[in-house]
Amino acid sequence: MNSNARSLTFVLLACVSLIGGCVTQPKSAPSEPLQNILAATEDLSMVADEALQLADRLGREQVLVVFDIDNTLLAMEQGLGSDQWYYWQRDLAASDPCSGMLVDDRLKVQGALFFASAMRPTQPDAAAQLQR
């Protein structure tokens, strides 16, 4: 075996040894993963309380809270362009496609209204609840 072949063999064996040494076995069996929690509430403090309890029990890095913005964190100042308006338009299009109250291309219209309209927090302490 020439020196290049021996060097290559040594490098390959060293790589295999290093890679094999990186594999670790868990010290204990992983716990059963927590399933999604689905609940309805009008108060963000309930969500914050539940998330903090889970973080205490499982560790902060194991808890992910996801919020929808529309009517969860922020709401339109007026009804025009709101989620309720969108669903009313959708249902109207299905039941009476020729209605004079129907808006063409409602997603574009809703997007323009979102851009042009002010929004408000859904509850006065929403920001404080999210920071907890």
pLDDT at 42 over 70: yes
Q: Give the list of residues 6+ apart from residue 38 with CB closer than 8 angstroms, or none.
A: none
Can you give the pTM of this predicted structure? 0.59
C-alpha 123/C-alpha 74 separation (Å) is 9
Question: pLDDT tens, 61-119?
Answer: 989 998 888 888 999 999 999 989 999 999 999 999 999 999 999 999 999 998 999 99
What is the enclosing helix (H) or strand (E) of 19? helix 3-21
13: pLDDT confidence band, cut at 50, 70 and 90?
A: very low
Token pair 């913005």 in the structure block, residue: 69
